[in-house]
A and B are shown apart, each in its own frame.
Chain A
């Protein structure tokens, strides 16, 4: 059984979703190695999952496992931000954490139609 599971809620309008997904994957890989699961949920395609998790703002990362569950709202500056929020007792900056390749600016509605 997977001991780490993360859901990332994005929409087709969000310009930053690829960046957030990269951050999340980098963070999870660094912390858990291959033993983790990252599920990217496009709200338009799976509204029932968005309903179940009461999605209001996006991007939204939901750590389901390990417990406790935590919701992270917004675009992090990089994987280390996720580490600081999700694992505050660990060393906040990991040498092996990969820097994000690019951090775009604020998302806008004009990008509707992009694929997740």
Chain B
């Protein structure tokens, strides 16, 4: 559908992408959400964008919180609302309840007082954006909801007459129930945005959904949303439209010549590889090879480490023969370490984006996804992987993620079973028990668009990093987690199982 209705940019990262341009101009959009879903901030950010970017005045009508409280809250985002007010750019219109003064209703009333105030302020300031937050507070002041709804309809009509673009917030009782409490959607029926704030399996997950955008295009479904200091509300569109992901046949080295050979000549440049294995099988070492291989070749490489401290990482790298300090000093390596639990997954994704935007790396490694998996729902985790892989492919960044299997001797991790289709290549690292000894093995499970080695090869780890040797020829069941030694006669029969019959038939 072609878009004929003009839209105003919101300044909410990601929202203009899912709304295909922002808020419909000259209309009132209802933003409905449960307590704590970010409604007030959403509305304020829409105004702040006009003030900050275009030095255009805006009006915030507050039905609930006092301007002093709002001013203080907005300051935490780095918005100097007080100075905007001094400059005549930001205007609070305070209709919050007067708690210190008794109020008695004795007869018929209407909202013409409020409408007159809004009209006068719009005319006086020239504001084109208005936020009204939040309507639920008004309903609690008056005993007759039907009457309030009627007056709200009158207010909405007045906003339309004024030609302003407005955001009205309202409460919801249930995340997947009625659009808003008190049926307020009746009078702003054209455009409805729903913010959700769901607690599932002890994880908070925020989403945004454009429920209705009458006569204009938008993306369907729920999208993750987060609230971050300095940025405010951030929507994560996961896959951005209009940015066709490029594809290339160019190969880059994994940093390990033997692994390159197993993968058919290295990794595709815009590919994402998943390295899965139990603890101690060499996942972080594979990362180190990958990073060192790029950085020592003059590329910029970025590591997000969620399991080890920076000091541990650098020490381990030294033990494998990699001088990460020197690569960092040369500006070819950047290491970002964080505890997964300090933020939700959407926050981590936003921070990753900011790091990638700032550093512009050629390679990115995440060690490990399993650490992040624990702080999200399965759906949220999958969307996170979609978001980060999409970003990396658009920028033609080579990616490598690690994932820890729960069992020492193999088996699938939840991570690998849910994101394997989102990655281009999968490398398995496994412990192998042979003749009473624990050895390590590596297998390339898939490389999209390329031939690859089908052997499970032995891995040795020493002061020179990872060495990949010969294939295990006499062990079966490695990937299933129950390796068993085959008798030589069986192994030789298996090897000949798929050979062509000799000429002349059997």
13 A-B pairs within 8 Å (CB atoms) are namely A11-B116, A13-B112, A43-B116, A43-B120, A47-B124, A50-B116, A55-B114, A56-B114, A57-B142, A58-B110, A60-B109, A107-B110, A109-B112
A109 to B93, CA, bound (A): 22
Decide yes or no whether A77 CB sits under 8 A from chain B. Answer: yes
Looking at chain B's contact residues, the main secondary structure is mixed
Q: How far is the CB of A11 from chain B (nearest CB, A)?
A: 4
Decide if A51 is an interface residue (CB 8 Å cutoff).
yes
A36 → chain B, closest Cβ, in Å?
Answer: 19
**Chain B residues closer than 8 Å to A58, beta-carbon distance:** 109-113
* CB neighbours of B113 from chain A (8 A): 9-11, 43, 50, 55-58, 60
Give complex CA distance A47, B116 in Å.
Answer: 8
Q: At the interface, yes or no: B98 with Cβ under 8 Å from chain A? A: yes
Complex Cα gap A69–B122 (Å): 30
Query: Do the beta carbons of A74 and B105 come within 8 Å of each other?
Result: yes
With an 8 Å Cβ cutoff, the count of chain A residues facing the other chain is 36
| Shortest distance between the CB of B71 and any CB in chain A (Å) | 15
Judged by a CB distance under 8 angstroms, whether A81 is at the interface is: yes
**Which residues of the partner chain A approach B250 to less than 8 Å between Cβ atoms?**
none
Output the nearest chain B residue to A77 by Cβ-Cβ distance: B107
Q: Which of A50-101 contact B (CB under 8 A)?
A: 50-51, 54-60, 62, 68-77, 81-82, 85
- Tell me, in angstroms, the Cα distance from A52 to B113 when the chains sit together: 13
Which B residues form the contact surface with A (CB < 8 A)? 63, 93-96, 98, 100-117, 119-121, 124, 138, 141-142, 151, 154
Pick from B107, B116, B119: contact of A75, CB below 8 A. B107
Q: Which residues of the partner chain B approach A75 to less than 8 Å between Cβ atoms?
A: 106-109
Q: Are B94 and A70 in contact (CB under 8 A)?
A: no
**7 more CB-based (< 8 A) A-B contacts, given A71-B103, A73-B106, A107-B112:** A14-B112, A47-B117, A54-B96, A56-B111, A72-B103, A73-B109, A77-B106
Q: Which residue of A lies closest to B157 (CB)?
A: A109
Shortest beta-carbon distance from A68 to chain B in Å: 7
Name the A residues within 8 Å of B105 (CB-CB).
72-74
Nearest B residue to A73 by beta-carbon distance?
B105
CB distance from B184 to the nearest CB of A (A): 16
- Residues on A with C-beta less than 8 A from B101 are 62, 68-71
Mask for A92-116, Cβ within 8 A of B = 1, else 0?
A: 0000000000000011010000000
Contact A68–B117 (Cβ < 8 Å): no
A17-52 vs B, Cβ < 8 Å mask (1 yes, 0 no): 000000000000000000000000001100100110
Select B104's contact among A43, A56, A70, beta carbons within 8 Å.
A70
